[in-house]
Structure 1
Amino acid sequence: MLDGLVAFVVASLLVSMAPGPTTVVIMRQSARFGRSAGTAAVLGNETGWLLWSVTAALGLSALLQASRLAYDVMRIAGAVVLVCLGAKMVWQARRGTVLRSGGELPEGPRPSWWRSYRLGLLTNLANPKAAVFAVSFLPQFVPAGASVPAALLLLALASTLIDLAWYVAIVSLITRAKRYFQRPAIQRRLEYLSGTVLIGLALRLAAQAR
């Protein structure tokens, strides 16, 4: 039992550390708008992962694994969402190239906590691979003889907490370098980089089969 728990924690942490659209969004929100926005994006992402995990426990996400058409529809829809998010970031970076007198970038309105939360949630839900991963990853750690739905729900909650701890650490690390990231040129490059990476990940998602 203990060995299985250790294996689960290590595997969940390695999964959390793997870079993807979520990492890009959380780092971008933290660097541009600070700890509150970064934390909100993290909580939005964890809500999305928990939803995917719960659907896995209920057997609903197995439909995506069984149906090629359902998965392809979700995959293309998710890619479109990520492209839109990335394109918006690139556009904001291009608008920021017109400097004010004094060399400062024009400041847009700071996003609300809810807006950052929604961005994190949407980025996670736009990735159908999360659903397929949940339904293939979590069941490996269900103890023999345990109630499968109950065990999957507990594992989903545990993996969410591990993921949360990892991304909160990232937010804390980035916000400590707040002065560096607040430089106008750095913010503009960050917007370009974040948008470009999201678009690239979206195109990869659209091109890949399961």
Structure 2
Amino acid sequence: MNSLAAFTLATLALVAVPGPNLIHIITRSVQDGRRAGVVSALGVETGTLLHVLVAVCGLAAAITDHPLAFAVLRYAGAGYLAHLGVRALLRRPPLSTAQADDAEARPDRRRLLRVYRDAVLVNVLNPKVVLFFLAFLPHFVPTGLTPAQTRTHMLVLGTLFLAIALVFDLCYALAGAALADRLRGTPRRDRRLAYTTGGIHLGLAALVLT
């Protein structure tokens, strides 16, 4: 099996398992609807692209080699997830299902931009993703390449990873939107959903610090 095929199979196995990014996409899709879920998927994979570029340029190694920089990234990531969790807990749910459906049908551009920004930052500020790409991409690069060829090969692999992950992200976003139809409906259900979403993000914040 060549390195590209092995990389594709490894990527499929990894992205199929829900991690913090997928959980964020699902919760956003459940809470705010299909469009928000799709925008979150695009935001997460924008973050993936940034991680790939950081790994290709050698900045990922520089971050992990400096404990202070890595600690700042770790606490910033945990803090932002905690911020999203608290924001979800304090959010006022729609008074009715009709209002929720109306918000989904007429999405506010600023709201979607905020959804996109949240997803980008959730991914970019996750130090474990930095470590992942630093270890994962070079493992599938053939030996004997020049530095330029190595960077090009890593960029191709990173782009392939991004494309596969985006397909899975979109599937999870659509699944979350379908699940929302069953979870929403009454003020009590909406409040329970907000508590669940907030609790999940707070749990992810704690996970980043472990």
- The question of a shared fold, defined as TM-score above 0.5 by the shorter chain, is answered with yes
* Cα displacement (A) at 1:105: 9.8
Q: Is the 8 A contact 2:21 2:44 kept in 1?
A: yes
* Whole-angstrom CA distance in 2 between matches of 1:186 and 1:145: 58
TM-score (norm 1): 0.84
* Cα displacement (A) at 1:106: 7.7
C-alpha deviations, 1:146-182, integer Å up to 9, x for none?
4110011111100000110111111222333453133
The one-letter amino acid of 1:10's match is: L
Q: Which secondary structure does the structure 1 equivalent of 2:90 belong to?
A: helix
Give the structure 1 partner of residue 139 of structure 2.
Answer: 140
The one-letter amino acid of 2:55's match is: A
Q: Is the 8 A contact 1:78 1:127 kept in 2?
A: yes
* Cα displacement (A) at 1:115: 2.1
Judged with a 3 Å threshold, the aligned counterparts in structure 2 of structure 1 residues 179 and 73 are, in CA distance, closer, same or farther, namely closer
Give the structure 2 partner of residue 181 of structure 1.
Answer: 183
Give the structure 2 partner of residue 60 of structure 1.
Answer: 59
* Whole-angstrom CA distance in 1 between matches of 2:20 and 2:161: 18
* Whole-angstrom CA distance in 1 between matches of 2:179 and 2:88: 21
Structure with the larger helix share: 2
* Cα displacement (A) at 1:37: 1.2
Q: Is the 8 A contact 1:24 1:194 kept in 2?
A: no
Give the structure 2 partner of residue 19 of structure 1.
Answer: 18
* Cα displacement (A) at 1:142: 0.9
Unmatched tracts of structure 1, length 5 or more? none
* Whole-angstrom CA distance in 2 between matches of 1:188 and 1:143: 52
Q: Is the 8 A contact 2:97 2:184 kept in 1?
A: no
Task: Flag as ranges the 4+ runs of structure 1 deviating above 4 A.
Answer: 103-111
1:200 aligns with 2:203: yes
How many aligned residue pairs are there? 200
* Whole-angstrom CA distance in 2 between matches of 1:155 and 1:163: 12
TM-score (norm 2): 0.84
Give the structure 2 partner of residue 151 of structure 1.
Answer: 153
What percentage of aligned pairs have identical amino acids? 32
* Whole-angstrom CA distance in 1 between matches of 2:197 and 2:52: 27
1:170 aligned to 159, 169, 172, which one?
A: 172
* Whole-angstrom CA distance in 2 between matches of 1:84 and 1:175: 23
The one-letter amino acid of 1:87's match is: V
